């Protein structure tokens, strides 16, 4: 059963399809494997049965041989005992008569004192009588023989003669299965060496001590043992037959199951192949050395190459520039492919007509036993790059529009700021004109008095004339002084607004050192008119701050956007002017080596689920027409470009704190 299981597993492994050829294997093809496996199973069972039968027969022979050796050893011990005693004297009977071949010995026949006749029985005579008592039909029997026997009955048969001749050639034992009297026997024969006790009888034959003068043969009947063997063989046959039957049943069901499994595997692989072939992305398989093994239709169309044209080539032949075979940094060997696993990389693909296109590539790995296969997914990202470029252009336009909106807000505030001092100057000039007209009317009314001859005037009129002259001069001087002071103040305010506007509008192409407090102050100046009637603005700017490196106009736009957003949050809450406030502060963090600009308000605040989205482009909570959702996104991008960050801390209903952190310029 173990052999059967191994064969079945091996067959299943071999039946696994190596590729999809368009048609699935039919059940008839699978049945052929089942027939082959059934034949192999039959051969295995038959071989096992034959081997067990042969082993059983061999064991039967070995049992008979062991029995023969046991009988021989027993008989040989009797023989040696008798030889050691130079024979024994036994009473003379009808079956035991004096041995005529021992007549040359004076004591071959004696009489006891009681008149009992005794005869000498030598070892050979004793063993012969013992063997004659054995019946050949019931058990083993032995025979003592020689090529030169004294007694004719001890003459060797054909098999014994062959064995005795083998002893003369140096053999120490001869055994074989022979047929005697129509039955099979195991015959064993060993030589008899001449000993001192043997010379008493065999010395006249010329034997000396150590000579081989014959042998003892033992025959063991095989009929009883063969009967037992046949029973065992029958048992083995039945067991092997049952095992063969169960095996064939298992093969039939297993073949059917395997055929179904293979069919399902082929169907699954066919579907997988169809999916791969119809994928929009290209799929390329590589061996461990980076050579192309296959590619799907999308990859073939992408590079304008047929599979037969690239199979066996390095993957680098499909790339241009960085990653191509001309680039020594990219070997595209096993190590390079292993390092590239799990990452998405961009390369420049090369078509058959030498045109290039942007390409995304990812590498994964599969193992089939000891074989490693790398799977490369490739994607033509030309359209995506074009779309990204168009999107970037669109975003740039929207960002410019957002900047224009911010600039429009700033310009509106600047116009309003400049309009106030301009109106003050106008009012001052009108007041001066009114004073001059009033003085002129007064002088015209008193003109007759003024034009009269002083000598003709009374003391009161003369004094009035003097008073009028002084009054006219004093009024004119006062009006001019008041107007001048107010106009100077308004002009200084206009100059400050213009200076802040110029600093804020000036756009450097390269980063330069900037004073954060100055940028914050300019942002407050330019937004002052938009918040002074809505809320209170407090500024707490730390003195002597180190400078930062950046674009003042960009940072100013960030600060203006922060102030306007705080104003909108407060207006949406509906607070009165005396309750609403914005607090702007700056501080230096020596540990982080940066400046923190904080914009705090007590507006509506921001919920936590919205905080994570406020810097996303086009995300806004304002109503339509009040924002496009790019303000904070633009601020975030500007601050990141300056190497800083924006932090948000907000409690819904209580207010928000935006912190802009900027790195200072190293000394």
pLDDT of residue 22: 39
Separation CA 219–CA 88 (nearest Å): 27
Please give the residue range of the domain that contains residue 454.
399-494
How many CB atoms neighbour CB 392 within 10 A? Answer: 10
From 182, 198, 167, 254, select the one nearest 80 (Cα to Cα). Answer: 198
CATH, residue 376? 3.30.450.20
pLDDT per residue as tens digits for the range 155-168: 888 888 888 888 88
**Do 560 and 637 belong together in one domain?**
yes
Least confidently predicted of 504-513, 514-523, 619-628: 619-628
Same domain membership, residue 97 and residue 35: no
Contact 582, 550 (CB under 8 A): no
Label residue 646 left, alpha or beta by phi (over 0 means left) and psi (-120 to 50 means alpha): beta
The rounded distance, in Å, linking the Cα atoms of 424 and 484 is: 11
Task: Tell me, yes or no, whether 96 and 220 share the same domain.
Answer: yes
Q: How many domains does the chain have?
A: 5
3-class SS string, 526-555: HHHHHHCCCCEEEEEECCCCCCEEECHHHH
CATH number of the domain enclosing 533 = 3.30.565.10
Say yes or no: 141 and 223 in one domain. yes
Residue that finishes a domain, picked among 494, 526, 545: 494
Q: What whole-number distance in Å separates Cα of residue 634 and Cα of residue 627?
A: 13
Quote the tokens at residue 551. 């674009």
Distances (CA, A) of 292 to 6, 377, 580: 35, 13, 71
In a domain, 75, yes or no: no
536 and 659 share one domain: yes
User: 221-230, 392-401, 542-551 — which is least confidently predicted?
Assistant: 392-401
Contact between 15 and 261 (Cβ < 8 Å): no
Per-residue pLDDT, 238: 92
Q: Does 71 fall in a domain?
A: no
> Within a domain: residue 629?
yes
Residues 351 and 208 in one domain: no
pLDDT band at 640 (very low <50, low <70, confident <90, very high): confident
Does a structural domain hold residue 139? yes
Same domain flag for 521 and 592? yes
- The sign of the dihedral angle between the CA atoms of 48, 54, 60, 65 is negative
**Is 641 within a domain?**
yes
Q: What is the pLDDT of residues 467-482, one digit of tens each?
A: 665 655 565 566 566 6
**What pLDDT was estimated at residue 599?**
93
- For 581-595, the pLDDT digits (tens) are 999 999 998 888 899
374 and 343 part of one domain = yes
| Cβ-count burial 184-211 (b if 16+ within 10 Å, e if not) | ebbbbbbbbebbebbeebbeeeebeeee
pLDDT band (50, 70, 90) for residue 23: very low
* Residue where one domain finishes, among candidates 467, 494, 521: 494
Contact 591, 580 (CB under 8 A): no
Q: pLDDT tens digits, residue range 134-185?
A: 655 557 777 878 777 777 777 888 888 888 888 888 888 898 988 887 888 8
* pLDDT score, position 453: 63
Residue 467 pLDDT: 64
d(CA 477, CA 474): 5
Last residue within a domain, chosen from 216, 251, 274: 274
Q: Confidence band (pLDDT; 50, 70, 90) for 249?
A: confident
What pTM did the predictor assign? 0.38
Cα 405 to Cα 411: distance, rounded to the nearest angstrom:
10
Spatial strand order of the sheet with 117-121 comes to: 88-91, 117-121, 109-111
Instruction: Choose among 75, 215, 213: nearest CA to 140.
Output: 75
- Within a domain: residue 49? yes
Residue 597's pLDDT band (cuts 50, 70, 90): very high
Does residue 636 share a domain with residue 618? yes
User: 215 with 347, same domain?
Assistant: no
Q: Within this chain, do residues 98 and 200 fall inside the same structural domain, yes or no? A: yes
Q: pLDDT for 524-576, tens place per residue?
A: 887 877 777 678 888 999 998 999 988 888 888 888 888 888 888 888 888 87
Residue 394 has pLDDT above 90, yes or no: no
Whether residue 79 is contained in a domain is answered as no
User: How do residues 268-325 score in pLDDT, each as one tens digit?
Assistant: 878 877 777 777 788 888 888 888 888 888 888 888 888 888 888 888 888 887 766 6
Residues 523 and 622 placed together within one structural domain of the fold: yes
Provide the pLDDT for residue 51: 92
Residue with tokens 């003024």: 450
Q: Is the pLDDT of residue 82 over 60?
A: yes
């Amino acid at each position: 059963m173990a052999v059967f299981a191994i064969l079945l597993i091996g067959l299943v492994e071999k039946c696994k399809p190596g590729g999809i050829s368009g048609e699935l294997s039919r059940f008839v093809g699978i049945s052929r494997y089942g027939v082959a496996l059934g034949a192999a199973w039959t051969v295995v069972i038959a071989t096992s049965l034959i081997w067990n039968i042969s082993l059983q027969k061999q064991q039967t022979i070995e049992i008979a041989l062991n029995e023969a050796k046991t009988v021989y050893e027993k008989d040989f011990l009797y023989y040696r005992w008798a030889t050691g005693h130079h024979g024994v004297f036994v009473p003379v009977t009808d079956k035991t008569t004096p041995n005529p071949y021992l007549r040359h010995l004076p004591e071959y026949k004696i009489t006891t004192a009681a008149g009992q006749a005794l005869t000498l029985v030598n070892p050979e005579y004793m063993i012969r009588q013992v063997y004659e008592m054995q019946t050949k039909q019931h058990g083993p029997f032995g025979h003592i023989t020689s090529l030169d026997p004294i007694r004719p009955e001890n003459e060797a048969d054909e098999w014994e003669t062959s064995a005795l001749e083998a002893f003369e050639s140096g053999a120490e034992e001869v055994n074989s299965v022979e047929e005697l009297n129509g039955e099979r026997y195991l015959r064993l024969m060993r030589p008899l060496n001449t000993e001192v006790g043997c010379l008493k009888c065999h010395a006249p034959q010329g034997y000396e001590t150590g000579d081989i003068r014959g042998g003892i043969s033992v025959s063991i009947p095989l009929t009883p043992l063969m009967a037992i063997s046949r029973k065992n063989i029958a048992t083995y046959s039945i067991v092997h037959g049952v095992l063969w039957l169960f095996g064939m049943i298992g093969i039939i069901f297993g073949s059917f199951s395997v055929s179904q499994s293979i069919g399902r595997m082929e169907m699954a692989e066919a579907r997988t192949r169809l999916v791969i072939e119809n994928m929009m992305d290209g799929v390329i398989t590589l061996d461990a050395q980076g050579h192309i093994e296959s590619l799907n239709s999308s990859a073939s169309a992408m590079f304008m190459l047929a599979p037969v044209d690239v199979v066996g080539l390095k993957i680098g032949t499909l790339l241009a520039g960085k990653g191509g075979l001309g680039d020594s940094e990219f070997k595209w060997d096993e190590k390079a492919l292993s390092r590239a696993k799990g990452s998405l990389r961009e390369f420049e693909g090369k078509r058959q007509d030498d045109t290039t296109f942007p390409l995304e590539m990812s590498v994964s790995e599969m193992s089939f036993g000891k074989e490693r296969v790398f799977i490369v997914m490739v994607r033509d990202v030309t359209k995506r790059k074009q779309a990204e470029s168009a999107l970037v252009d669109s975003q740039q336009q929207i960002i410019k529009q957002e900047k224009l909106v911010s600039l429009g807000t700033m310009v509106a505030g600047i116009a309003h700021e400049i309009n106030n001092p301009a109106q003050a100057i106008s009012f001052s000039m009108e007041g001066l004109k009114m004073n001059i007209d009033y003085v002129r009317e007064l002088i015209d009314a008193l003109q007759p008095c003024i034009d009269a001859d002083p000598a003709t005037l009374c003391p009161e009129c003369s004094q009035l004339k003097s008073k009028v002259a002084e009054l006219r001069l004093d009024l004119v001087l006062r009006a001019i002084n008041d107007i001048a002071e107010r106009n100077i103040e308004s002009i200084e305010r206009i100059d400050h607004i213009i200076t802040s506007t110029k600093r804020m509008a000036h756009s450097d192409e390269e980063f330069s050192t900037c004073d954060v407090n100055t940028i914050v102050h300019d942002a407050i100046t330019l937004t002052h008119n938009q918040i002074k009637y809505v809320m209170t603005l407090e500024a707490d700017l730390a003195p002597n701050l180190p400078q930062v490196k950046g674009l003042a106009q960009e940072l100013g736009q960030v600060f203006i956007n922060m102030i306007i957003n705080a104003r909108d949050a407060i207006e949406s809450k509906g607070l009165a002017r005396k309750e609403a406030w914005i607090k702007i502060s700056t501080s230096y963090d020596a540990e982080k080596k940066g400046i923190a600009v904080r914009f705090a308000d007590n507006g509506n605040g921001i919920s936590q689920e919205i905080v994570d989205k406020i810097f996303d482009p086009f995300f806004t909570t304002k109503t339509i027409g009040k924002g496009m959702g790019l303000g904070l996104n633009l601020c975030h991008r500007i601050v990141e470009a300056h190497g800083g960050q924006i932090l948000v801390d907000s409690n819904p209903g209580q207010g928000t704190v935006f912190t802009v952190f900027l790195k200072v310029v190293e000394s």
